[in-house]
């Protein structure tokens, strides 16, 4: 059935890319400065500052934090008393840290040694 004004395109995995007429060699040849100039000149391409959006809640990247500290999942979990399953869920995007967990991860990111030291002293 054909609807007026609507185009339907079927594309399956493995199909050759749909030709758009884009000169990808020219796109690849653009310098960072040229790209930035093009973005500045196009109001529709202006970057969105998510940190200024109402309701934005930054979610710490737990995997990057752990890797920056040079720790395995097991070591990070033990040092900061975060259940390993929870840590894996956060890292793999299955779950997001809630507000208290985000605050705790922010404190860990800012002073990991102090947090680990304080937790090591607790019984």
Domain with residue 113: its CATH number is 1.10.260.40
How far the first Cα of the chain sits from its last, in Å, is 70
Is 88 among the domain residues? yes
The confidence band for 11, taking pLDDT boundaries of 50, 70 and 90, is confident
Residue range 61-104, pLDDT digits in tens = 999 999 999 999 999 999 999 999 999 999 999 999 998 999 99
Q: Residue 62 class from Cβ within 10 Å (0-12 exposed, 13-18 middle, 19+ buried)?
A: buried
Q: What is the mean pLDDT of residues 92-120?
A: 93
Domain residue limits at 72: 62-121
Domain count, the chain: 1
Residue range 12-60, pLDDT digits in tens = 777 777 777 788 889 899 999 998 888 888 878 767 777 677 777 777 8
Is 50 among the domain residues? no
Is 5 among the domain residues? no
Is 42 among the domain residues? no
**φ, ψ for residue 100 (rounded to 5)?**
-65, -40
In this structure, which long-range contacts are made by residues 68-75, counting pairs with CB atoms below 8 Å and at least 24 apart in sequence?
A: 69/112
Residue range 28-41, pLDDT digits in tens = 999 999 988 888 88
Is 52 among the domain residues? no
Q: Residue 80 class from Cβ within 10 Å (0-12 exposed, 13-18 middle, 19+ buried)?
A: buried
Round the average pLDDT of the chain to a whole number and report it: 85
Q: Is the whole model's pTM more than 0.75, yes or no?
A: no
Is 74 among the domain residues? yes
Is 27 among the domain residues? no
The confidence band for 123, taking pLDDT boundaries of 50, 70 and 90, is very low
Is 22 among the domain residues? no
């Amino acid at each position: 059935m054909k609807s007026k004004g609507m185009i339907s395109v079927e594309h399956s995995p493995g199909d050759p890319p749909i030709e758009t007429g884009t000169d990808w060699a020219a796109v690849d040849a653009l310098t960072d400065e040229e790209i930035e100039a093009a973005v500045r000149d196009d109001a529709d391409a202006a970057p969105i500052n998510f940190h200024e959006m109402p309701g934005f809640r930054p979610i710490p990247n737990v995997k990057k934090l752990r890797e920056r500290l040079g720790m395995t999942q097991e070591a990070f979990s033990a040092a900061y008393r975060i259940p390993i399953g929870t840590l894996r869920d956060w890292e793999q995007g299955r779950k997001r840290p809630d507000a208290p967990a985000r605050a705790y991860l922010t404190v860990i990111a800012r002073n990991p040694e102090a947090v680990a030291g304080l937790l090591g002293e607790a019984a």
